[in-house]
Amino acid sequence: MLGFLAKRLASGVVLVFAVSAAAFMLISIAGGDIARTIVGDAATQQQVDQKAAELGLDQPLLEQYWSWLGAALRGDFGTSWFTNLPVTELLLTKMPITLSLALVGTVVSAALGVALGTIAAVRRGIVDRLLQVLVIAGFALPGFWLALVLVSAFAVQWGLLPATGYVPFGFSPAEWARSITLPVAALAIGVTGATAQQVRSGLIDVLRQDYIRSLRGRGLSNANIVLRHGLRNAAPSALTVISLQFINLLGGAVIIERIFALPGLGAMTLDATTQGDVPQIMGVVVLTVGIVVTVNLVIDVAYGWLNPKVRIR
């Protein structure tokens, strides 16, 4: 198990390096005359060249990447080319917002999805029918469109919840909850159906197993059989889909943050990529891939904990 985790960790680190290198090459090669964009059209060619030298753009590409990597390994992601703010600091202030959305969205959709999937698997019938509709609707209706519908109903028409803005948790937990309710709902609705679907089919598979019949033969209660033995055995497949949903929501946050004017990583990515702000893009890329790698490691540990066969090996 430990050896397995070490391998996964190493593979994750390689992934972060590979993606950062690929991203750096991609944006740098196709970046155009970024120094000109920064100093403005009115600047002289000399000013432009000076800016380029200042940013290290006159160096060979590999050298640029190398010096970025050296600094990054020391925890220094440089400063934004456009705002001159340190990227590390920017990332740290914006990360809580995006993580709030993705984590709360994952937890909410996972809880709803497990509950709904379990009911659908056990009861079938009407709940199952409704779940199929939710799955298709969640898959087909884009999250950003749902967000707009929610905004126009809850914020514009009824004025129940704020349409925009973010309140930090430390400032006021209640306001924080209000500020992320609509964005989280917009993110979670779509993936809840998918999670529920996975739980449903996983649980149906498990409930068909011989050992479930044996447990029934021992006179154990239905609740015990479904909730303890059934869900426990269906957990690994549910966990896989939930972790994929988290990655999904992390990406989905880019659009949702734009709609609700939340100053998170997504909004930052959008601005940075439209401007071509290399240090910011690189910071975001490394951070998101790092988060994903971490989540996958956590899932691997959970997997081993859930599956005795993996644990012992």
Partner 1 sequence: MTAGLDPVAVPPDATAAAVGPRRRGGVGRLLRNPLAVGALLVLAVVVLTALFAPLLAPGSPTHADLRAVLAPPGPEHLLGTDGLGRDVLSRLLYGARTSLVAGVTAVVVAVLVGVPAGLFAGYHLGWFDTVGNWIVNAIIALPGIVVLLVVISAVGANMVFVMAVFGVLISPGFFRITRAATIRARAELYVDAARVSGLSDARIMLRHVLPVVRAPIIIQASMMVGVGISVQSGLAFLGLGSAREASWGAMINDAFANIYGAPGLIFPPGLAIGLTVASFAVLGSALRDALEDDTGGSTSAAPADAHEPSVEATPQGSETVLEIRDLSVRYPGAGGSRTVVSGVTLGVSRGEVLGLVGESGSGKTQTAFAMLGLLPPEAEVSWSSLAFGGEDVRAGDGSALAALRGRRMAYIPQEPMSNLDPSFRIGTQMAEPMRRHLDVSRAEARRRATTLLERVGIRDPERVLAAYPHQISGGMAQRVLIAIAISCNPDVLVADEPTTALDVTVQAEVLDLLRDLQRERQMAVILVTHDFGVVADVCDRVAVMRHGVLVEAGTVTELFGRPQHPYTRMLLASTLEGKEPRQRLLEPLGGAR
Binding residues for partner 1, rule: CB under 8 A, are: 11, 15, 18-19, 23, 26-27, 29-31, 136-137, 139-142, 144-145, 148-149, 151-152, 156-157, 209-211, 213-221, 224, 229, 232-233, 244, 247-248, 250-252, 254-255, 258-259, 269-270, 272-274, 276, 281, 284-285, 288-289, 292-293, 296, 306-309, 312
Distance (Å, whole) CA 143 – CA 185: 9
Q: Residue 103 or residue 244: which is nearer to partner 1 going by CB? A: 244
Q: Residue 21 or residue 177: which is nearer to partner 1 going by CB? A: 21
Q: Residue 15 or residue 177: which is nearer to partner 1 going by CB? A: 15
Q: In angstroms, what is the minimal distance from the CB of 172 to partner 1?
A: 27
Q: Residue 3 or residue 170: which is nearer to partner 1 going by CB? A: 3
Q: In angstroms, what is the minimal distance from the CB of 116 to partner 1?
A: 18
Distance (Å, whole) CA 167 – CA 91: 17
Distance (Å, whole) CA 254 – CA 306: 33
Q: In angstroms, what is the minimal distance from the CB of 123 to partner 1?
A: 11
Q: Which residues contact 42 (CB under 8 A, 6 or more apart)?
A: none
Q: Residue 232 or residue 298: which is nearer to partner 1 going by CB? A: 232
Q: In angstroms, what is the minimal distance from the CB of 46 to partner 1?
A: 27
Distance (Å, whole) CA 161 – CA 175: 10
Distance (Å, whole) CA 116 – CA 209: 21
Q: In angstroms, what is the minimal distance from the CB of 22 to partner 1?
A: 9
Q: Residue 176 or residue 249: which is nearer to partner 1 going by CB? A: 249
Q: Which residues contact 127 (CB under 8 A, 6 or more apart)?
A: 116, 119, 120
Sole residue written with tokens 């509950």: 115
Structure tokens at 61: 């590409």
Distance (Å, whole) CA 96 – CA 78: 20
Q: Residue 23 or residue 55: which is nearer to partner 1 going by CB? A: 23
Return the half-sphere exposure (C-beta side, CA atoms, 13 A cut-off) of residue 179: 19
Q: In angstroms, what is the minimal distance from the CB of 251 to partner 1?
A: 4
Buried b (16+ CB within 10 A) or exposed e, 268-285: bbebbeebbbbbbbbbbb
Q: Residue 57 or residue 292: which is nearer to partner 1 going by CB? A: 292
Cβ atoms of 138 and 112 closer than 8 Å: no
Q: In angstroms, what is the minimal distance from the CB of 238 to partner 1?
A: 13
Q: In angstroms, what is the minimal distance from the CB of 42 to partner 1?
A: 24
DSSP secondary structure code for residue 229 in this structure: I
Distance (Å, whole) CA 153 – CA 313: 53
